[in-house]
Amino acid sequence: AAILPTAIKTLPSESYLMCYPQMPFVYLESGDSDLQFLLLGGKLVKVRSKSWKHGRYFKLEEDCQTFSHESKKAFKQNHTFSIDDIESVRKGRHSEGLKKYTDASVEDLCFSIIFKGRKKNLDLMAESPEDVNKWVSSLEKIINNMHNLSNQKKSEHWIFSCIRKADKNGDNMMTLKEVKHFLRQINVEVDDSYAADLFKKCDTSNSDTLEGEEIKQFYEMLTRREEIDIIYGKYAQTEGQMSDRDLLNFLLNEQREQATAEDAHRLIEKYEVDKTAKQNNCMTKDGFLMYLQQDDGCILNPAHRSVYQDMNQPLNHYYISSSHNTYLMADQLKGPSSTEAYIKALMKSCRCVELDCWDGANGEPVIYHGHTLTSKVLFKDVIKAIKDYAFKTSQYPVILSLENHCTVEQQKLMARHLVFFLGDALVKKPLGDTMPTNFPSPEALKGKFLIKGKRLNKLDSIFTNNNVIEDGTVSEEDEAAECKENSQKEKPKKSNIKLDKELSDIVIYCKSVHFNSFEHARENQAFYEMSSFKESKAFNLAETSATAFMHHNMDKLSRIYPAGSRTDSSNYNPVPMWNVGCQIVALNFQTNSKEMHLNQGRFLMNGFCGYILKPEFQRNLSSQFNPNALTEGSWLKKKIFHVMVISAQQLPKINKEKQKSIVDPLVKVEIHGVQADNASKETHHIENNGFNPMWNKKFQFDISVPELALVRFLLEDHDTASQNDFIGQYCLPLTSVQNGYRHVPVLNKRGDNISSASLFVHLMLLDAP
């Protein structure tokens, strides 16, 4: 039988607050003092500059998910933002604006709301430290509660907020006209007769309005998912319910899990919502849907959500999440530089950040993109921000990649700032008492900072008492030379720069050297001497000398950076670089692009810690792996990947300005890996339905090197006249995919989760015959 659209969810339980009659769901108890405080609101001072500091009344709206504050401009509506848009709340003067425009004496009166993406921070001041504590703790509580909601509860919350918007006159009743408006709100276009029919079935009182139980019935009819009914019906063989044995049967046969009776009991205990069913060791349809929408039923293997790989291998045996020109918030020519860009990258588990250092005023070095109009930020402010945020999301080491254009005087200050602010966390000498022959592991370097830059001498001089005591001259960084080349008409000669001894001495495991050839590197370079490759050079080597490049990376680190011509901060494809074992594949983190989606997918597993252990064949010196010309070897593990795209739920509207704009969604399934595995297939589009589109489309992919393959699901709004619009996407390593019926999260362009949306698929990764 054909699988049809989308599933019965129970109405929110009474334990949740009825925030107002037409919105029977939120995520805090009604008597919660923090919620009451936010609903009541209060006056805060909004800070924009030294002279622009104005009082505004802030409060949480009755939908319990929208914040508002009044606008003083004539005819302007109140400013609003969603709780879901908030990335974090910071107490104190911890934003660039508050540091710049307020005095240190008001530190305990300040806090900032930091938004996802490029939306400007909201810098605020309260009347007392107690008020600050109350605002910050209440906001953090409501954000955490929102974040911890189950997907089902988020879905309910979203639907009921749409019902509320549709109830134009706020009388807690819905007319046929309001029902049609609601259907447009949830991204589904239906003809008038269908809407009228649905309305008539629910209007049991014949009052030409829906209220109370009628709205509940309307909700249940609308959100029924017949594909779930069919799957559940096939396995629910115990008086219409799934017994623990039925569930185990489903886990073994459909999900292909190595499950036991204990696993079935655990899932019933964890997800079943009906107490009687739980006591009888049974799972109802609602419990089954709850299971499918949570981590256990997600496409991503739950075991990969935490660090599970061996973290005791040498540092160069890992792919390392890396950022290029980290200080930039936008383009490479005139965009702003900011400490905020470093914080955002580090909070996304980026483990290698770049600092372009130039002489600044008053003897203080600055960071900006030289020879351009990008703004400048103090070097010491960047180091302070890095120190504060480096290990919030991952404990594994952070590499500071220095591009040094400073005079010796300001280099001395750089070195002192690094030593002072980073303290014992800065690696200032090799681990151990003897000269190392290999890198330490990420585990051994937990909580540590490594400096990548030029060094005046070899590392073994530390152990031979042959250390230099004076400043010296070194060749400039390859990327610095290219930056200069891009800003001048004639190709300049690569120049030497004077290097301060103090700055040289804190470069331990990541000494920058020029790349000549793989043979030269093998014969002349120590393991800690690493090269940076611009993308054109790296792609050429990956194409013509793939195996040699891979062997080079078994002993040393390689950093790849985007071409200087990418002034719009666009990115290159990182996959071919990972295919030859390059570790530091630096991308413009500020650019929402397919390449960044692939990067997020690559580092999604292993606890999103920023380090991924490379496959064994990229670490074994006897390996002759070539991603461009596959031969027999341990890398060749031929698989067939079966994908059935079944349905999607509650996709966002693309054009929110146009009330009648409804998406025509289609799904693309992409494989990114070695050349032979790269593929893309797509479904047909569904007209006028972003709420519960149904495809039931089967695809098959032949995979040769599964350990290097990434899977990307891309949702687009079909357009016959122009390029399709982006709706959402999700990317993950093929080796992290769970078999069976799975929900796929939907992320926006920035890589943030669209909480109400999901894709429902059936997957099977099998050995090829």
- The annotation places the binding site at 46-73, 325, 354, 356, 403, 452, 454, 532, 559, 662, 664, 688, 717, 719
Nearest residue to 244 (alpha-carbon basis) of 224, 273, 269: 269
103: number of Cβ within 10 Å: 7
Q: Which two tokens stand for residue 15?
A: 């334990």
> What is the distance, to the nearest Å, from the Cα of residue 270 to the centroid of all Cα atoms in its chain?
27
169: number of Cβ within 10 Å: 8
309: number of Cβ within 10 Å: 16
Q: Residue 113 in contact with residue 124, Cβ under 8 Å?
A: yes
Q: Residue 64 in contact with residue 80, Cβ under 8 Å?
A: no
558, β-bridge pairs: 531
Q: Which two tokens stand for residue 526?
A: 């120590």
**E strand residue ranges, 551-637:** 558-561, 584-587, 611-613
Residue that is written with structure tokens 């891009």 in the block: 486
Residues 6+ apart with CB under 8 A from 262: none
CA distances from 428 to 182, 446, 504, 717, 731 (A): 62, 15, 10, 53, 38
Angle of CA points 727, 733, 738, to nearest 5°? 90
Q: Residue 155 in contact with residue 12, Cβ under 8 Å?
A: no
Please state the φ and ψ torsions of residue 232, each to the nearest 5 degrees: -65, -45
Type of residue at 200: K
CA–CA dist 22, 451 (Å, integer) = 57
Residues 6+ apart with CB under 8 A from 439: 314, 315, 316, 509, 527, 528, 557
Catalytic residue among 181, 304, 317, 324: 324
Binding site residues for substrate, as ranges? 46-73, 452, 454, 532, 559
DSSP string, 617-672: GGT-TT----TTS--SSTT---EEEEEEEEEEE-PPPS-TTSTT----EEEEEEEE
Q: Order of strands across the sheet with 110-115?
A: 79-82, 66-69, 53-60, 42-47, 122-125, 110-115, 86-91
259: number of Cβ within 10 Å: 17
CA–CA dist 91, 94 (Å, integer) = 7
CA–CA dist 642, 701 (Å, integer) = 7
Binding site residues for Ca(2+), as ranges? 325, 354, 356, 403, 662, 664, 688, 717, 719
Tell me if residue 552 is catalytic: no
658: number of Cβ within 10 Å: 10
Q: Which two tokens stand for residue 245?
A: 């044995």
Angle of CA points 360, 586, 86, to nearest 5°? 80
Cβ density class 724-746: b for 16+ within 10 Å, e for less: beebbbbbbbbbbbbbbbbbbbb
Q: Residue 695 in contact with residue 689, Cβ under 8 Å?
A: no
CA–CA dist 219, 227 (Å, integer) = 17
CA distances from 229 to 1, 232, 247, 643 (A): 12, 5, 15, 20
DSSP string, 171-220: SS-B-HHHHHHHHHHTTB---HHHHHHHHHHH-TT-SSSB-THHHHHHHH
Tell me if residue 324 is catalytic: yes
Catalytic residue among 157, 181, 317, 369: 369
Active site residues: 324, 369
